[in-house]
Structure 1
Amino acid sequence: MEERQPNVADVARAAGVSLGTVSNVLNNPAKVTPRTRSKVEAAIAALGFVRNGTARSLAAGTSRTLAFLVEDLTNTFFLDLAKGAEEAAQAANLNIVLANADSREDKQRSYLDLFEEERVAGILLAPRQDLLDQVAPLRYRGVRVVVLNAHPPGDVCSVETDNVRGGYLAAQHLIAGGCRRLLFAGAHRFPAVVDRLQGTRRAVAETGGEVTLEVMTTDGVTADDGYEVATVIHSRSDQDRPDGVIAGADLLALGLVQATLVRGRLRVPEDLSVIGYDNNREAWSSLVPLTTMDQAGVQMGRSAAELIIDELRNPREHEHRRIVMEPILVPKSSTRPLVGDPAPPATPARWLPEHAPGQA
């Protein structure tokens, strides 16, 4: 049989005090004399007593833990979200537990069920867009949820990047650098990528036909997908190939740049300018540092945690809000500098200033 874990009653017997005294030592130590507190703490240490946080939360009707479930931790953008959320949670004297769904429906559902069963104070969710149907039942049962990096349905707080704006700024940057034959590459099953394409189309349309746009749909947004895009580009003549590429994500851009350098026929950025999206640290080691669009992930995570903390503290006055962050262009060596501008940095930037969120 499993050995029973010591409980509060065992501590009280070992210390020769009441249950109430043990409770005060655990929760309100200032109410207990130093001598009595030392006796109780010695009994706790001798027995190996560990407080049952779940039972405590159920008894008090509250929890000091927020859960953060992200789509895919291989993308460091989600680590930035978690970092910002942790900063806000710690400032509010709350804890955060982090879980990775690996872009899998079953893992996301399993974690959401677990967090609800454990009665966490609230859930921060950065999901796949097509799995947002799992949010409404939670809200119906009274679970506090804030959605990040997706368009949530119904009455729920959310924080996301203006991806249409990001695609627009990325295309504008290439056009200002002299590119006239643009290619947009990305997986259309991701709504964020579709939004970035919409912004790209808008920037191209504003040139009145001076700039052309080709769209290439990929299976995903990985480095392997970038290699495939490079194969197509290198199979064309100089007159038919693009001179600027907007990649749906940094890893796709990384694969494209690395494959281009290996083949050696085209130079980046002189013959082919490439811009990515996310400011993913996994792409910082690119031989040609990647120009990218940063999504201010730390600020997004901080804002999301602040929303859920406000709902915790002011449940009656709290109003659900949608916060939209402005994407930030981070120019590096994979795109041509603007005419008259200095060359972009030759090494990847490791720091960005904080940016205040915009609201929509």
Structure 2
Amino acid sequence: MPTQTDAGAGRVRRPSVTDVARLAGVSVGTVSNVLNRPDRVAGATRERVLAAIEELGFVRNASARQLRSGEITTIGAVLLDIANPFFTEIARGIEDRLAVDDLTLMLASSDENPDREARYLRLFAEHGVRGLLATPSHGSIDALLAVQDKGIPVVLLDHVSPVPELGSVAVDDVTGAGLAITHLLEQGHRRIAFVNGPMTLRQCVDRRDGVVQTLTEHGLDPAEALVELGVDNLNADAGAAALDDLLDRPGPRPTAVFCVNDLTALGVLRALREHGVPVPEEMAVVGYDDVSFASMLTTPLTSVRQPMHTLGWTAADILLRSGAGEPEQVVFTPELVVRASSDPAPEARPRFGLAATRRGGRIAGWPR
């Protein structure tokens, strides 16, 4: 059967579903449908995928077989909060990848609690899972290394692996936060609030680093340009409480708020509405993740988009190929999706004198 060699490492690996998708010029989801639900795929596309499978010598279940101990194999996943749409979409990506090899998913939420995480790790091991995906809740990976030492392959999800023994899939959050802050600076904002979560979470640390680095690179002193608002939980109620705190503080009010995720941004938007602060006229808001509701709000939310489904799919794919060579560590680059919530700062908008005239109920020349 044809094999491929990883560049620079000399490791031989079996062709993956991703390789088939790339050769056939389709998505990995289409390959999944050809393997599991061929009636959903147009004939010409199905034939192209089958030809790619033949050319690459892809064998269904070839890599997953290393994880099997019987007819049905369960893969465990411990995520921070499955109520968060970000992790819901990740879970769907995991499920879609596992479906290719007729595997099932056992899902749990740590609620950002290390003790709860440890309990689920123990339960998954007792239930005989043959692989584990996990987002560490407190920065430490010792418990996950202990699981892998017992012969259960582990891949870190939404977390960069600090050791070569663990595979991982993550997003460059320093760059992502930098995209958000650069956008706000380009819109004229010079005093920005940052709603951030616990610094025990890698994502919160990296996003803060991105904020501070970007302000500094643009010649601003973070001590003067940044107002930091810490929250214990990454949900809407915490975001609303942070905004209440911001409005109660003395001194110049920031003209923009960058939130560590979209759920906290949702709470910020709700609190701004309750306080009668118009968005974006008096306060711009930017979130992070670009979950499904971001574009559906009354004022659509500008957000840093993470490839959520792809994160889940790729993590599961790496897990199923974990015996084919050294663990893979993949980092994706996010992108900024600009919407109405982050229009220019008030001081950056055009000014008009007494000679300004009104046309159709608005000042002539004023942006619509």
Shared fold (TM-score, shorter chain, > 0.5): yes
Match of 2:289 in 1: 278
Q: TM-score, normalised by structure 1?
A: 0.70
Q: Is the 8 A contact 2:67 2:73 kept in 1?
A: no
Q: Is the 8 A contact 2:161 2:329 kept in 1?
A: no
Match of 2:220 in 1: 209
Q: Is the 8 A contact 1:65 1:96 kept in 2?
A: yes
Match of 1:46 in 2: none
Q: Is the 8 A contact 1:260 1:267 kept in 2?
A: yes
Q: Secondary structure at the match of 2:88?
A: helix
Instruction: Indicate which of 244, 247, 250 corresponds to 1:234.
Output: 247
Moved more, 328-337 or 77-86: 328-337
Instruction: Indicate which of 117, 133, 146 corresponds to 2:142.
Output: 133
Alpha-carbon offset, residue 104 of structure 1:
3.2
Match of 1:331 in 2: 338
Q: Please state if 1:164 is matched with 2:177.
A: no
Alpha-carbon offset, residue 257 of structure 1:
1.5
Match of 1:260 in 2: 272
Instruction: Indicate which of 121, 126, 134 corresponds to 1:112.
Output: 121
Q: TM-score, normalised by structure 2?
A: 0.68
Match of 1:27 in 2: none
Superimposed CA distance per residue, residues 276-305 of structure 1 (whole angstroms, 9 cap, x where no aligned partner): 112234666643222111211100111111
Q: Is the 8 A contact 1:123 1:144 kept in 2?
A: yes
The CA distance in 2 between the partners of 1:150 and 1:267, in whole Å, is 36
Identical aligned residues as a percent: 31
Letter in structure 2 aligned against 1:242: P
Q: Is the 8 A contact 2:68 2:130 kept in 1?
A: no
Count how many residue pairs are aligned between Structure 1 and Structure 2: 278
Q: Secondary structure at the match of 2:300?
A: coil
CA shift in 2, pair 1:58/1:196, >3 Å: closer
Q: Secondary structure at the match of 1:129?
A: coil
Q: Is the 8 A contact 1:63 1:119 kept in 2?
A: no
Root mean square deviation of aligned Cα: 2.8
Match of 1:11 in 2: none
Match of 1:34 in 2: none
Superimposed CA distance per residue, residues 48-101 of structure 1 (whole angstroms, 9 cap, x where no aligned partner): xxxxxxxxx999578532222212111111111111111111123322222223
Alpha-carbon offset, residue 263 of structure 1:
1.6
Match of 1:15 in 2: none
Match of 1:246 in 2: 258
Instruction: Indicate which of 101, 110, 113 corresponds to 2:110.
Output: 101
Letter in structure 1 aligned against 2:264: L
Q: Is the 8 A contact 2:144 2:154 kept in 1?
A: yes
Instruction: Indicate which of 187, 192, 204 corresponds to 1:193.
Output: 204
The CA distance in 2 between the partners of 1:78 and 1:145, in whole Å, is 18
Q: Is the 8 A contact 1:72 1:78 kept in 2?
A: yes
CA shift in 2, pair 1:179/1:166, >3 Å: same
Larger Rg: 1
Alpha-carbon offset, residue 246 of structure 1:
0.9
Q: Please state if 1:319 is matched with 2:326.
A: yes
Letter in structure 2 aligned against 1:275: V
Alpha-carbon offset, residue 274 of structure 1:
0.8
Moved more, 94-103 or 266-275: 94-103
CA shift in 2, pair 1:58/1:232, >3 Å: closer
CA shift in 2, pair 1:270/1:59, >3 Å: closer
Q: Is the 8 A contact 1:62 1:121 kept in 2?
A: no
The CA distance in 2 between the partners of 1:234 and 1:249, in whole Å, is 20
Match of 1:288 in 2: 299
Alpha-carbon offset, residue 327 of structure 1:
1.4
The CA distance in 2 between the partners of 1:320 and 1:219, in whole Å, is 33
The CA distance in 1 between the partners of 2:269 and 2:319, in whole Å, is 40
The CA distance in 1 between the partners of 2:337 and 2:343, in whole Å, is 13
Alpha-carbon offset, residue 130 of structure 1:
3.3
Q: Is the 8 A contact 1:164 1:196 kept in 2?
A: yes
